[in-house]
Amino acid sequence: MSTIEAAAPARRTRSPQTLAKAGVVAALVLLILFGWARYDNFLSSYNILSFLRYNAMFALIALGMCFVIITGGIDLSVGGVAALGSVVAAQASGYGLVPGVAAGIATGLAAGAVNGVVITRLQIAPFIATLATMLAAYGTALLLSGNQSVSVSYDTAFTEFGQGDLMGFPIPAIVMIVVTLGGWFVLERLPTGRRVLAVGGGEDAARLMGLDVERLKFGVYAASGALAGLAGAILAAQFGAGQPTEGVGWELFAIASVVVGGTLLTGGVGSVGATFAGAMLLALLFNLLNFENGKGWISLSAYWQSVIRGLFLLAFVLLQARIARTQED
């Protein structure tokens, strides 16, 4: 068999994911064009900057989820960890911006490390391990906060992390872009990224290649937790309080963003850029529904908006699956 013939199956395997990446970007562009054509001030600087500021949290947890799913795992704890991180960050905000943010990240990192140890050392399934961590995180957040929001300190610059701008651009959006670019560089340009993909492609094969599978899996769960903690710090700084009951459903948003971006839930294939586009696509749909409510033609409650987003996600995934089957045939 020639080299070209041997490479052909690999190209056919990759093509559905390539089309999925192109599809999510195309859908994002089309929604932006639709919003621009239908709604006044849709592309105003206020709406764009507000959109990026608020959705930075969700993009961060989606990035962490992307790496976890690439290894063939799942992290259901990100919402609870973000809530706990917001409470701890709010309590530490009196010491300043850096200690407050660091406290949120450290909290998430600790939770992610627990996930990593339980999954790699105790051999507990990721679904069960991270579900347990999610419940523990919410319970701890409620205990630390006394079952109420924890106000941040306004005597320090902590709130600037969520509400401030740098050269006219929201600080949370800057953090989101920097972290996303860092994640892309790790996955696409560093050996670590190739090793993570190899683990998702098959743990036994990865071990035969000499890779430390347990260490890599521990690392991605720790990173996912740290990013959830960072999202929690942004949440506290942005809304002026730690929110122990926030984060419900965030893990579903993150998983949906990853899936829409073409990452396989079975692992071994994934893209940071497409995951980011997927997160922005789902967030943009919510933004469009708010604009539609503002026109007065319809009035959709938050519940109906969730139904519409779910149906949109289902339709998008079904379309991707159909394209993939067509390419494989």
pLDDT in the model for residue 301: 67
Length in residues, the chain? 329
pLDDT in the model for residue 60: 97
pLDDT in the model for residue 325: 65
Q: Is residue 3 in some structural domain? A: no
Beta carbons within 8 Å of 226's beta carbon, 6+ residues apart: 64, 105, 108, 109, 112
Buried b (16+ CB within 10 A) or exposed e, 124-151: eebeebbbbbbebbbebbbebbeeebbe
Q: What is the mean pLDDT of the chain?
A: 89
The ranges of the chain with pLDDT < 70 are 1-17, 295-302, 305, 319-329
Q: What is the pLDDT of residues 10-60, one digit of tens each?
A: 333 445 667 777 888 888 999 999 999 999 899 999 999 999 999 999 999
**What residue numbers bound the domain in which 142 lies?**
11-328
* Two tokens, residue 4: 């070209």
CA distances from 185 to 14, 180, 198, 318 (A): 20, 9, 17, 30
Q: Is residue 1 in some structural domain? A: no
Q: What is the pLDDT of residues 154-200, one digit of tens each?
A: 999 999 999 999 999 999 999 999 999 999 999 999 999 999 999 99
Q: Is residue 2 in some structural domain? A: no
Q: Is residue 57 in some structural domain? A: yes
Q: Is residue 6 in some structural domain? A: no
Q: Is residue 82 in some structural domain? A: yes
Q: Is residue 4 in some structural domain? A: no
pLDDT in the model for residue 310: 76
- Asked if 317 contacts 259 with a C-beta cutoff of 8 angstroms, the reply is yes
pLDDT in the model for residue 240: 96
pLDDT in the model for residue 285: 87
pTM of the complete model: 0.90
Other Cβ atoms within 10 Å of 116 Cβ, number: 25
pLDDT in the model for residue 327: 55
Total structural domains within the chain: 1
Distance CA 11, CA 8 (A): 5
* Beta strands in the chain, from DSSP E residues, in sequence order: 150-151, 165-166, 169-170, 241-242
Q: Any idea what the CATH number is for the domain that residue 132 is in?
A: 1.10.3470
